[in-house]
Amino acid sequence: MPKIKSFAPAWLNNPAPGHKLFEQPIDDSKLPAGLAYTKKWKPGARRTIAHRGTEVFVAVGKHIRWGDLVHLKETWESKPSRTSRAQRHDAEGSFDVYDEEAAAGNTQPGVSEGYRTIKTPVADDIRQLVMSPQQDFLAVLTSHTVHICILPDSSHLHANDSTPFKPKFWTLGPTTHVTSRSGVVSAVWHPLGVNGSSLVTVTEDAVVRVWELSTADRWTFDSPTLAVDLKRLADGTSLDQDFSVSTSATNKVFSPDSFDMEVAAACFPARGSGGWSSMTLWVAMVGGDVYALCPLLPQRWAPPPTLIPSLSVSIVARVAATEDDPEVSAEAKVLAQQQLEWMSDLDNQEPKLVEVPFSDFPAEVYTRPSRPGTIPRLQGPFHFEVNPDDEQDDEVELKDIYVIGEKINTADLMVGEEDELDVGEEDRNGLSLTVVCLLSTSGQVKICLDIDGVEAKWLPPRNRSRARLFPTPSKPPSLLTFQTFDTVKPAELTTDSWPMFSEDVTSRYAFYVTHPAGINHVSLAPWVFRLESELQGESEAGAEFRVNLLVQGRGSVSDRIYTQIPGQNTSPLAAALAMNDPDLGHFVLTATLHDPIALFFETPERETSSAREESPQLIEAGEPAEPPTVWEPRPLFHPSEALDHNSGLPAWLDHIKTGRRRPVIQQEVRLSIATLEVFTEGHRLVSTEVFELNNAVAELFRKCEALQSELQQQIVKVAEVKTRINTISGYESQDDDEPVSEDMLIKGRLRAAKQRQHELSKRMDNLRKKLGRATSRELSDKEKAWMDEVRALEHTIFPREGERASSPSKAKQTWERFEEIKALRDALFSQADQLQKKGGEAIGHEGGASPARNIKIPAEIRKAKVAQVMGLLERETALVDAVKSRLERLSVS
């Protein structure tokens, strides 16, 4: 079930212009005095809301109101002041909004608000609005007539013009759909019509007409291209019989079929369905019977790209399987030949390409095959196979039918092909069976499965020899009743209720049921995907175990999303209209005779594999439930219309004063028949008004009491939320503490967080330093090579014991050179000492003269030798110091 986020917003409530869009015009002057507010809707389907994008068309009596919901929302929310506006109704039921800007002449009333009134040529109240697939036609249905509105572009409706808009209207079948004939039950746009221009109408007397509309040819609106009388077709025996509609409206002969074949509703499956589904018309009778007409096609039709190839594959396979099988009946063989003949007629055609609006690819248009016949066989009534323990109500009355076609079988279509077929995810996933949903007057929904599958069938030819091959079928087609459930409680039933189906925009296996008591959302996803896995044989368990698990498992989910206020069931709801727009959201729109009703949901998610039923283990291990909300959305309360209507007593008194009972008013009260009649009429009028007012006031009083209790609950929930917030924020109020502002609490928490962050960063830096010193990571190859080089240099300068062997290379090692320099230095020092000693002895013998003076060494040689020795010493000293400092740095690091 979609979770309801909110109900009708402010821009749809009174006094917003969006509320005026749905108000029904009531002219009290044309109704009896005091009975203006007791007008009831006639029994019948009420589909009075249609949409084109965000534009909605609402049927209001004999007129249509147009409004752009996005424009209405933005206009209402952007206005700073709304209290100064005054609404007023005109005599024709149209409406204008008067405000200061309109009075000043800045804007025109009723146009800037985003809605307009569309004038229609209908003579009775509009019952249904049906939008075409291309959204360029709007079928307007009354009880007996059908009108086609050529919808203009949105820019024309948004034009700054306050006058009612008058678009082009065509009367469909001006001599066919008239009040002197049977009423129109359903008008369905054919899913295979060229650009959505083919309309199929079904009347109460079981007559199906196919109209192919073209604005360039007015005769397409006067006569249908195909008209079939289902009562004649049900009794037909050959293709050559006349199944057309009788043109006589007065000579009607009694027939049991007039009661057994009274049509309640008809529908087509979606265009993207597989097999023969998209060209099968399903018809539900009031008495409970269901019929199928396949193939029902217009004269020119445009199939989707996968339809004809898939049908061709299935027909060829069927012919090959039945041709040589002796156990196949003669009827099945001839039926396969008829389908092959029908497909051969299609293969011989050359399709025409027609441009499709809002599409980059043209559509292929074919002509309806004339062989074996243009009118198919009527299949039915279907027999409902139910459990023996189930009970069937013989007095059930069907009101609506909704059919979900089977999915496209892409596996058989692309056998032997390498490329994959480009099919949408919604059409690829689903059930390979057709699901037929029936809705009765009591609100009971019956889910049926077409196990055998409806396919194209025709009556046999008139040839007697071939007619023998078509014996009367002993077993009628059947539908398997999968599930039956009620959407309306017994206390909510009314005699003139007319429940309706509405499709959902989020899933093809979900829909809405609108009834006088409210709206129900029904989802078939819990069992559809599980059943498909069983049909495909994906499970390894036994068949009996799997069937029991499927039967005892979870079925369809039906949830009441909206409930009408008790006592207002006399104001029926329009069929729910589901919309999903980025600017508006996902919501359901409906309306009573006086007020709109909107239910806004959370953003929907695509239902693919997640829609499959989860196992109990996954459910138990799922995420915890969401926290409770402070308030629950509830429907908007609308007071009873009786509080807004004027009393009929003054009008009745004026009528008495001018009527034949005028003397009774002017004289004293006397016991007479005239006085009794006056008092009886006055009591009837006053009692009726007082009764309605009492009920309205009582309902208002009960709502006020409920509002008090709801307000108390919200106060309690708000207190709980406040306590939780204080607990999370770390501040718990005490009685003795001084009050602390929220700003101070936030600033204190920020300061504490910053201080703690600073301390953590310091600790992190210290730990990083310690880890850098403690951890011993592996050296890289470059570091290892550099260490080897340093060791080799160390050995060359400071060799170890036993390593001072002569190097085999010609270059001397550093330590050898150092030792050589030291030896030279010692030798020089020793020679200098000896020379000094010898010089001293010579001076002593020769009068004390220095011996060094006697040695004659040139000064240049002495200086050069000394400089050479000193340079070598300095060089070696510098080299030793550099190596020593480098070794110290290496040892430190």
SS3 160: coil
Q: In this model, does residue 849 exceed pLDDT 50?
A: no
Please give the full DSSP string across 376-390, using - where no structure is assigned.
PPEE-PPEEE--TT-
Q: For the chain, give every domain's residue range.
A: 642-729, 789-802+813-892
Residue 104: per-residue pLDDT = 35
Residue 50: per-residue pLDDT = 94
Question: Do you find a cis peptide bond into 851, omega within 30 degrees of 0?
Answer: no
Q: In this model, does residue 608 exceed pLDDT 50?
A: no
Among 543, 592, 538, which residue's Cα sits nearest to residue 569? 592
Residues 564-590: pLDDT tens digits? 876 655 678 899 999 998 888 899 999
CB contact at 8 A, 546 and 530: no
- The arithmetic mean of pLDDT across residues 631-635, rounded, is 71
Q: Higher-confidence residue: 160 or 243? A: 243
- The arithmetic mean of pLDDT across residues 446-454, rounded, is 90
Please give the full DSSP string across 669-695, using - where no structure is assigned.
---SHHHHHHHHHHHHHHHHHHHHHHH
Q: In this model, does residue 155 exceed pLDDT 50?
A: yes
Residue 296: per-residue pLDDT = 93
Q: Higher-confidence residue: 655 or 292? A: 292
Residue 97: per-residue pLDDT = 37
Q: In this model, does residue 818 exceed pLDDT 60?
A: yes
CB contact at 8 A, 501 and 513: yes
Instruction: Write the DSSP symbol of residue 165.
Output: B
Q: In this model, does residue 96 exceed pLDDT 60?
A: no
Distance from CA of residue 654 to its chain's centroid? Answer: 58
Distance CA 524, CA 557 (A): 7
Cross-strand partners of 581: 585
pLDDT band at 43 (very low <50, low <70, confident <90, very high): confident
What does the block give as tokens for 341?
């003949």
Please give the full DSSP string across 798-813, using - where no structure is assigned.
S--TT--PPPSSSSPP
- The arithmetic mean of pLDDT across residues 640-650, rounded, is 79
Distance CA 266, CA 284 (A): 6
End-to-end CA distance of the chain: 71
- The arithmetic mean of pLDDT across residues 349-366, rounded, is 85
Cross-strand partners of 557: 523
Q: What string of H, E and C letters represents the secondary structure of 598-647?
A: EEEECCCCCCCHHHCCCCHHHHHCCCCCCCCCCCCCCCCCCCCHHHCCCC
Residues 123-142: pLDDT tens digits? 899 999 999 999 999 999 99
pLDDT band at 325 (very low <50, low <70, confident <90, very high): confident
Q: In this model, does residue 795 exceed pLDDT 80?
A: no
What are the two backbone dihedrals, phi and then psi, of residue 383, each rounded to the nearest 5 degrees? -90, 130
Residues 717-748: pLDDT tens digits? 888 888 877 776 655 555 555 656 667 778 88
Residues 176-214: pLDDT tens digits? 998 888 899 999 999 999 988 999 999 999 999 999 999
Q: In this model, does residue 112 exceed pLDDT 70?
A: no
Q: In this model, does residue 41 exceed pLDDT 90?
A: no
- The arithmetic mean of pLDDT across residues 589-613, rounded, is 70
Residue 34: per-residue pLDDT = 41
Q: In this model, does residue 28 exceed pLDDT 50?
A: no
Mean pLDDT of the chain, nearest integer: 78
Kindly give, in sequence order, each residue whose CB lies less than 8 Å from that of residue 858, ignoring residues fewer than 6 positions away: none
Instruction: Write the DSSP symbol of residue 860.
Output: H
Residue 98: per-residue pLDDT = 35
Mean pLDDT comparison of 488-502, 618-632, 735-749, 763-777, highest-scoring range: 488-502
Lowest-pLDDT range, 445-449, 500-504, 877-881?
877-881
Lowest-pLDDT range, 219-223, 606-610, 853-857?
606-610
What does the block give as tokens for 872?
């070598």
Distance CA 716, CA 712 (A): 6
pLDDT band at 553 (very low <50, low <70, confident <90, very high): low
Strands 263-267 and 577-581: unpaired
- Residue reference for tokens 């506006």: 85
Residue 510: per-residue pLDDT = 93
**What whole-number percentage of the chain has pLDDT above 70?**
76
- C-alpha distances out from residue 518 to 8, 485, 560, 575, Å: 15, 16, 7, 10
